[in-house]
A and B are shown apart, each in its own frame.
Chain A
Amino acid sequence: MSGQDIELMAHLMRRAGFGATRGELEEMVDKGYEETVEELLFPQDGRRLGDDVIRRYHVDIHESRIPEPPATEWLYRMVTTSSPLEEKIALFWHGIFASSFSKTQQSRSLAVQIDMFRRFGLGRFDSLLLELSKDPVMIIWLDNHDNHKGAINENFGRELLELFSMGDGNYSEQDIKECARAFTGWTLGNAEYMTARAMKASIWPYGAIAWHFGYRDYDHDDDEKTFLGETGRFNGEDIIEIICRQTATGRFMARHLYDFFVADEASVPQWPYTPPLDPDAIETLARAYVESDHDIRSVLRILFNSDFFKDAKFARVKCPAEFVAGVIRLGGDLAEPSLEMNEAGNLMGYMGQSLFAPPSVEGWHEGTEWINSGSLVERVNFAAEYFNDVEKPGVRDIIERLAKQNGGSFSPEDVVNSCLDLMGPITMSEESTRSALIQHVAKKGDLSLRKRESGKAEDERVAELLGLIAATKEYHRA
């Protein structure tokens, strides 16, 4: 097993998941890269606490417990799941089909939407858009329940084209109106019940049901429409079918996948004016979209196995969910949900990403826009404090692995190099970071883990170093 194999696998797991411990990486390298990609692409209902168990025994992190966005429960899945791509793809779609708690005011329905992303997010894009158009949170968020025959509300129609599929510049204002007409009658099925219920029940939705989709034939505009040059008595399904076979859709989705899984692109509004970072890569992914009949899983298979992916180590800035979930996965304090997880969920919000509550339908601005002085302070403080704790199982694991190297004796330089390796491996883009860490360790001289008392001073020096590594510039990158 070479260092390069571990490095590549760590890269894959930062992108397709939320990072992995050294033990997990070694198992995956034994299995092989392509085989690991296949396992990621076909999520199993594997090792994680079931929703029923959480609801019964850990109600404090369950969506029914809090009227606020239930980020905690999702975060807990991100850090415990053995099928991380399932959560990652849900996060991907949540950023693009950004709908928020701020308008629906019901956690349950948002949890249902995210679950829909898990189930349909790796499948055919047509099916995903169809589910999205029937999703009650989306209907409320973009007012499609106010989109009536003879009195259209174009909000959903516009965003479906601009933000969810083709991108600005590939359709006319008239197409938006025709699209909105096709989605008249696509509304909420249990609005009366939910309204009555909301007036009677408390705001605590324990036992409440979710919003449901309903189709109202009598409110659907069944007349002829002309959409993207095609004419017919289109309903929503037809519109989605037309959208999904547009070249623009394949290219727009290819760029989104590249942006999220490979390297940070310019922000979305600049796409019509700025060429992609790697036009060939976008071409490859867009072609895969067409050739696979719009199958997201097939596009991702090509992406993860490509050279442009393998060569893009640390090319992205971690989003707060990746950052927080990654720290906790590596720190490994996960035996059961704890109130600490609630705090970690709130922290993601302070870092600029409240799950279930994106700032607007445009989603989050990503890349370096995640980093400003406020969010950076939150990231550094959280990560440094989390690792500077010899009781954390993940920290203990690193210390035990360290104790077996070099006969347990380290110069400051050796211990810095070994810790950088065991926490990632993390590549230092600059020598100055490494030398600052070495100087910091050198203030207390060489380190010996040979005759140490577990949990005492020498261990604490390692934990402090792990905290400082998590505070580096490099640790913000995936």
Chain B
Amino acid sequence: MVSDNNGRSLVVIQLTGGNDYLNTVIPYENELYYDNRPTVHQNQSDVIKLDGELGLSPSMGSIKHLWDDGKVAIVNGIGYPEPNRSHFRSMDIWHTAEPAKVIGDGWLGRAVRDLDPKGENVLTGLNLGRGLPRALSCRGVPVASVGNLESYGLFPDVREEEARRDTLNTFAQMYGGAEGRDAISQFIGETGSAALKGADILRTAPEKYSSSVEYAANPLAQSLKDAAQVMCADLGTSIYYAQHGSFDTHGGQLATHNKLWGEVSSAVGDFMQDVREHGRDEETLIFVFSEFGRRIKDNGSGTDHGSGGVAFCIGGSVQGGLYGEYPSLKDHDQLEGDLHFNNDFRSTYSTILEGWLGLDAVPIVNGNFEQFDFIRKSKISHKLSGVR
């Protein structure tokens, strides 16, 4: 049985390259911020204030609107023990939820496996974009990866109905056989079979969708539009994955960082408006993360790889506000020149897995982690508790 977890969707947005935390959620009243960032800082007057201490980067206007509606939880000081400043390794740690050793499976791939243990729905997890991130990969768990929803399918050049049926049958036979396979062949076979199954279902999504929202013209916005279409087609998809970047701003940071956050912010704003229009904003949770934050001191034009960072959880069922603690910028509180993380990323993962997807988090993140309370008790569970 595929768990439908009340039709809830998780939309993960990966900020690739290491997002500069200090210039995303800005301690605009803190002199140490300006001292450490003689070049790479936002002017106090440009910061979008959240409260008397913290504010958002100037290009994050759409996210501020959602914040004002109480739909944005900011997880300050998120990270993992013994930070690794390699993109490679750090992203792997976030993807696999395993800082201590290198493993191949992703936390969301494991979540898909637990949502749909028998692999009945090949669309339980859906990657929007090219390639498949490790977070979604899990041996034996089919996940669809869709570059462009509108042209998705096998053998589009074979149009005549009977020929098409024959060709797809032959394809199913060629990829479905199971005898004497080596591992590579096994993997390609399973992927092909899953693709065949998913393609026919996904083809129907754009037909069922209409919206008044005109999405911003950036790749992330287009990916989120595809997510909205699949969501509205009720294909049983629970986890969506999209990426944006590159946030690896070693040089010329200010202009690039502003542009990137402008794109993320408008894409998230458009998407939330769209799902609200379709009455799904309470069933939608967006989770935004990056592999690490950046160094506290700037390098004259950008910032180098650091550790402690920030994550965002956005949605109609989110209890908006600040979570975690904003790390101290004082010299003796720093971790080798970085912001010190104060909450393990697996706490946020566990909150999402249990509080949102209704899964047992322990086997997925391999441990017990204290959870946040940024997810409101939904109306459905209120009703349930009322019945009891």
Contacts and interface: CB of A to CB of B under 8 A. Distances in A.
B187 A371 contact: yes
Contact of A376 (B87, B122, B127, B191): B191
Interface in B91-105: 92, 101-102, 104
B167 A168 contact: no
Interface stretch (A34-42, A358-366, A398-406): A358-366
Interface stretch (B70-78, B138-146, B210-218, B273-281): B138-146
Interface stretch (B61-69, B154-162, B320-328, B371-379): B154-162
B16 interface: yes
A168 B89 contact: yes
A445 interface: no
A377 B154 contact: yes
A437 B173 CA distance: 9
A146 B195 contact: no
Contacts, number: 181
B366 to A, nearest CB: 17
Interface string A358-389: 01111001011101111111101100110010
B152 A430 contact: no
Contact of B154 (A151, A365, A381): A381
B300 A473 contact: no
A148 interface: yes
Interface in A258-311: 264, 267-270, 273
Interface in A443-478: 443, 468, 471-474, 476-477
Nearest to A142: B250
B174 A388 contact: no
Given A143-B250, A374-B130, A473-B188, A430 B17 contact: no
B182 interface: yes
A380 B154 contact: yes
A376 B192 contact: yes
A375 B145 contact: yes
Given A146-B251, A371-B187, A373-B194, A430 B154 contact: no
Interface string B212-246: 00000000000000000000000000000000001
A48 interface: no
Interface string A430-444: 111101110110010
A378 B157 contact: no
B175 to A, nearest CB: 6
Interface string B154-186: 111100000000110011011111111111110
A368 B134 CA distance: 12
Contacts of A476: 188
A89 interface: no
Given A145-B251, A372-B131, A472 B174 contact: yes
Contact of B184 (A103, A148, A368, A432): A368
B34 to A, nearest CB: 18
Report, as a range, how many residues of chain A touch the other chain.
Answer: 35 or more
Contacts of B188: 317, 368, 371, 376, 473, 476-477
Given A143-B250, A432-B177, A477-B184, A372 B304 contact: no
A155 interface: yes
Contacts of A168: 86, 89
A397 B363 CA distance: 57
A143 B299 CA distance: 11
A429 B194 contact: no
Contacts of A437: 170, 174
A352 interface: yes
A413 interface: no
A429 B185 contact: yes
B117 interface: no
Contacts of A162: 86, 88
B189 interface: yes
Contact of A360 (B16, B85, B170, B192): B16
Given A146-B251, A436-B174, A471-B174, A430 B185 contact: yes
Contacts of B156: 381
Interface in A100-116: 102-103
Contacts of A268: 88
B7 interface: no
A122 B130 CA distance: 31
A153 interface: yes
Contacts of A362: 87-88
A381 B89 contact: no
A374 B198 CA distance: 10
Contacts of B132: 369, 372, 374-375
Contacts of A429: 180-182, 185
Contacts of B166: 440, 443
Nearest to A162: B86
A359 B131 contact: yes
Contacts of B87: 360-362
A254 B182 CA distance: 25
A264 B183 CA distance: 12
Nearest to A152: B299
Contact of B299 (A151, A269, A373): A151
B147 interface: yes
Given A317-B184, A372-B132, A143 B88 contact: no
A473 B189 contact: yes
A206 interface: no
Contacts of B179: 430-432
B16 A471 contact: no
Contacts of A43: none
Nearest to A103: B246
B44 interface: no
Contacts of A361: 87-88
B155 A359 contact: no
A440 B167 CA distance: 8
Contact of A270 (B102, B137, B182): B102
Contacts of A373: 122, 142-146, 191, 194-195, 198
B184 A143 contact: no
A154 interface: yes
A142 B304 CA distance: 10
Contacts of A267: 104
B5 interface: no
B302 interface: yes
A376 B147 CA distance: 11
Given A146-B251, A153-B250, A352-B131, A377 B153 contact: yes
Interface in A121-169: 142-143, 145-146, 148, 151, 153-155, 158, 162-163, 168
A430 B130 contact: no
Contacts of B301: 146
A153 B157 contact: no
A431 B130 CA distance: 32
B199 interface: yes
27 contacts: A143-B251, A146-B250, A151-B300, A155-B250, A163-B88, A269-B89, A273-B101, A351-B130, A352-B131, A354-B130, A360-B248, A362-B88, A371-B191, A373-B195, A373-B198, A374-B127, A380-B155, A429-B185, A430-B177, A430-B185, A431-B179, A432-B178, A433-B174, A468-B171, A468-B174, A471-B155, A476-B188
The 4 lowest CB-CB distance pairs between A and B, nearest first, are A432-B177, A374-B145, A436-B173, A372-B132
Given A153-B304, A437-B174, 13 more contacts: A146-B299, A158-B85, A162-B88, A315-B184, A360-B88, A360-B248, A374-B132, A385-B157, A429-B182, A430-B181, A436-B174, A473-B185, A473-B192
